[in-house]
Amino acid sequence: MKLLLIEDHKDIAGVIFDFFEIKGYTLDYANNGLHGYELASSNHYDLIILDVMLPRMDGFTVCQKLREQGVDTPILMLTARDTREDTLEGFAQGADDYLVKPFDLEILEARIKSLTRRRIGNTATKTLKFDELTLDLNTHIVSRNDCQFSLNPTLFTILKLMMVRAPNVVAKDELISALWGDDEPEGNVLRSHIYQLRSQIDKPFKHAYINTVPKVGYQLIDKG
C-alpha cells in the first residue's frame, strides 16, 4: 500500500514513517501543503494522511483543491485541535476521516485499512480524459483513438498532471517538483521527457496535444 504523508512536524512524521515502513507500507512525504498538493495531484496513492496546520497551504485548502480536480484518493486529516468546527470543515472540504493528535498508531492504521477497504471492489478503473486522450491511472496506459501506449512512471506523472490541469498551463517548476522534489537532475532533463511523451502521443497523429509555453511550462490543447 502506498501512502502520502503531508505533515510539517518532523518528529510526528518520523514516528509515522518508522511504524508503517516496518509493516511494509510505501510512503512519500511532504513537509508543506503546496508540495503535498503537487505530489497528490501527479501520483497515485492508496491514501493521503493530511495535517490541517501546514505552511504554504493549509490542509483544508489542499483537500478542497484535490477534490475540485477530481482526485478521489481517501484523505485522513490530522489536527491538534479537537473542535467541532475543525471536524465539520474537514468533512466539508472532502475529507473521509479525522483523527485528533496525539493518536495511537494502531488506531491510525485501523482507520487507514478501513478507508482503503471501502474502495476495493467498489470503484471502476479510474481514468482521466482529454479530448481523444484517455489515461488509465491503474495501468499507466494512455489511449488515443485505437492506439495504446504504456508510460513509464516519469511520463505518467507528467501526462497526469497536464491532464488534471488541462487546458491550463503547468509550470516547469511544478513538474520538476512533482518528479524530483528538491533533487532535480543536472541539465534540461524535463525537456527530454517531454520529447519522449510527444513521440508517443503526438507524433503519429495530425494534431499535437502538448503545447510549449516559452519560459513558463506546458499545456494540453484540444483540436478546437
Model pLDDT for residues 149-200, shown as the tens digit of each residue: 998 888 998 999 899 888 889 999 889 888 887 777 777 889 999 999 999 9
Tell me if 28 sits within 8 A of 38, measured CB to CB: no
Closest CA to 91 of 57, 49, 63, 122: 63
- Cα dist from 2 to 29, 45, 224, whole Å: 11, 5, 38
- Residue 10 scores a pLDDT above 80: yes
Torsion angles phi and psi, residue 95, rounded to 5:
-65, 150
Map out the domains of the chain as residue ranges: 2-119, 127-220
pLDDT on residue 120: 55
Grid cell at residue 135: 489515461
pLDDT on residue 42: 86
Q: Which of 31-35, 92-96, 215-219 has the lowest mean pLDDT?
A: 92-96
pLDDT on residue 180: 83
pLDDT on residue 224: 63
Q: With bands split at pLDDT 50, 70 and 90, how would you rate the model's confidence at 18? A: very high
Model pLDDT for residues 50-65, shown as the tens digit of each residue: 999 999 999 999 999 9
Residue 81: HSE in the Cβ half-sphere, 13 Å Cα cutoff: 10
- Residue 125 scores a pLDDT above 60: no
Model pLDDT for residues 186-214, shown as the tens digit of each residue: 778 899 999 999 999 999 899 999 999 99
DSSP per position, 104-166: -HHHHHHHHHHHHHHHTTTSPPPEEEETTEEEETTT-EEEETTEEEEPPHHHHHHHHHHHHHT
* Averaged confidence pLDDT in the chain: 88
Give the CATH number of domain 2-119; options: 3.40.190.120, 3.30.565.10, 3.40.50.2300, 3.20.20.370.
3.40.50.2300
pLDDT on residue 124: 47
Q: Which one is predicted more confidently, 153 or 220?
A: 220
Q: How far apart are CA 158 and CA 175, in angstroms?
A: 7
Query: 127-220 has which fold?
Result: Arc Repressor Mutant, subunit A (1.10.10)
> For 52-150, where are the alpha helices, taking DSSP H only?
59-68, 84-92, 105-119
Closest CA to 12 of 74, 80, 68, 72: 80
pLDDT on residue 177: 84
* Residue 102, preceding peptide bond in cis (omega within 30° of 0): yes
Give the rounded percent of residues in the chain with a pLDDT score beyond 70: 95
- Residue 26 scores a pLDDT above 90: yes
The alpha carbon dihedral of 79, 83, 87, 89 has a sign of negative
Closest CA to 149 of 162, 161, 136, 160: 136
